[in-house]
Amino acid sequence: MQLRFVGCGDAFGSGGRSNTCFHLTGARTNLLIDCGASSLPALKRLGIACNAIELILITHFHGDHFAGLPFLLLDAQFLRRTTPLVIAGPAGIAARLTQVMEALFEHSSTTPRKFELSVIELVPEETTRFGDISVTLFAVVHGNSGGPFLGYRIEAEGKVVAYTADTEWTDSLIRLGRDADLLIAEAYTYDKAVKNHLSLATLEAHLDAIRPKRLVLTHMSDDMLGRLDRIDHVAAHDGMSIDL
């Protein structure tokens, strides 16, 4: 399997990076994790076939993780997609998707499609299967608006990919990431405490408990991007691929 960082930036485009969007593929796997506002052009820039994506997992409803969906869905209509698509995420996702589609493209939520679209709510502490893919949800902590907030543990084709999403430290991250083949973790700042976000220093204090086989840092502010030559961990960049 392969994980590609379509976009790994924060909400403010720090370092000129695209909003959060990861593409996980394998013999029986083709999914996106998050779909921030800039995701469609980023996907096309990398030559990723959007109509082949079968599942999109959304962590929360902030624009840099969610607002790319209207563009992706309209593009699928214009490109005459016929294969089913599943979008799954926190409680309220169906209503939120309708709202953002109507805000950006009036009447787009009611336009008939040639493909089947399923929008599914996921529940923290439960595991949901999508074909051969197993997805376990963990509640994370990212403020009072734009939630509920979810982190993901994805098991597919014998590998485990975990993603903290945007969050301050919470002990659920230990179970989310424990012994994962790949842990994608927010490192918004180096050591500065920012409410609702994770610093590298805080993450490092818990790595012995999480024990990921591989760690890649994402969603970095300018504070982190200016220190990449001083850290001992792999930092994501747009277009970067990880083979699992």
Q: How does 128-151 read in b/e, with b if 16+ C-beta sit within 10 Å?
A: eebeebebbbbbbbbeeebbbbbb
Query: What are the backbone dihedrals phi and psi of residue 49, each rounded to the nearest 5 degrees, phi first?
Result: -75, 100
Q: Computed from CA positions of residues 56, 195, 209, 127, in that sequence, does the dihedral angle turn out positive or negative? A: negative
Report how far residue 153's alpha carbon sits from residue 187's, in angstroms, rounded to the nearest whole number.
Answer: 18
Q: Which residues contact 43 (CB under 8 A, 6 or more apart)?
A: 6, 21, 23, 50, 72
Report how far residue 34's alpha carbon sits from residue 150's, in angstroms, rounded to the nearest whole number.
Answer: 11
Partners of 31 in the beta sheet?
Answer: 24, 55
* Continuous H helices in 54-110: 63-66, 69-78, 93-104
Catalytic residue among 10, 64, 166, 238: 64
Answer yes or no: 64 catalytic.
yes
Catalytic positions are 64
